[in-house]
């Protein structure tokens, strides 16, 4: 389920955030100031085609195996042609869902990444629209 849609600002102000060149261990603390490599704007990292990009907030855990959790914000690019294996934002019979697209011969499946959920096997007469391909995930830890 999707709880909110967001569009990137057409002309976002530059917000360069420091990026450190070294990896950060999850164990012992390390002084990082000596390793400042560059600055990074998250728009440059996450948005490749601004005119075709939007974001959605996720609700639910059907894609937890792909690292997508409830409250995460997904970056969706409508300019990418969806192919088998892509994680997509789809509408099935009027309901939004995020799933992995799988095409086998003429059959289309939308696969969850959590064994607690069944795959969606598109049946004749069902309506499917692919709104875009997931290209990024902004994690929410709060």
Same domain, 29 and 77: no
Q: Does residue 119 carry a pLDDT above 70?
A: yes
Confidence at 25, pLDDT banded by 50, 70, 90 = low
CA distance 110 to 82: 12
Q: How many domains does the chain have?
A: 2
Residues 60-104: tens digit of each pLDDT? 999 999 999 998 988 999 999 999 999 999 999 989 999 999 999
CA distance 6 to 131: 14
Q: Is 30 a residue of the active site?
A: no
Contacts of 17 (CB under 8 A, 6+ apart): 39, 40, 41, 42
- Kindly state the percentage of the chain with pLDDT values over 90: 46
User: Is 22 a domain residue?
Assistant: yes
pLDDT the model gives residue 32: 55
Same domain, 80 and 35: no
Q: Is 103 a residue of the active site?
A: no
User: Is 1 a domain residue?
Assistant: no
Domain with 98 in it: 49-138
Q: 64, 70, 99, 140: which is the annotated catalytic residue?
A: 99
Q: 22, 62, 139, 140: which is the annotated catalytic residue?
A: 62
User: Is 2 a domain residue?
Assistant: no
User: Is 57 a domain residue?
Assistant: yes
Same domain, 84 and 113: yes
CA distance 23 to 42: 18
CA distance 99 to 24: 31
Same domain, 117 and 71: yes
């Amino acid at each position: 389920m999707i709880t909110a849609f967001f569009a990137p600002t057409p002309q976002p102000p530059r917000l360069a955030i420091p990026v450190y060149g070294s990896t950060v261990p999850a164990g012992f603390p390390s002084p990082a100031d000596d390793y400042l490599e560059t600055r990074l704007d998250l728009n440059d990292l996450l948005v490749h085609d601004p005119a075709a990009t939007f974001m959605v907030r996720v609700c639910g855990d059907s894609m937890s195996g792909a690292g997508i959790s409830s409250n995460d914000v997904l970056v969706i690019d409508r300019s990418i042609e969806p192919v088998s294996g892509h994680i997509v934002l789809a509408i099935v019979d009027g309901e939004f869902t995020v799933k992995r697209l799988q095409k086998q011969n003429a059959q289309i499946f939308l696969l969850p990444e959590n064994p607690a959920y069944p795959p969606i096997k598109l049946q004749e007469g069902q309506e499917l629209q692919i709104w875009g391909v997931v290209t990024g995930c902004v994690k929410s830890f709060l």
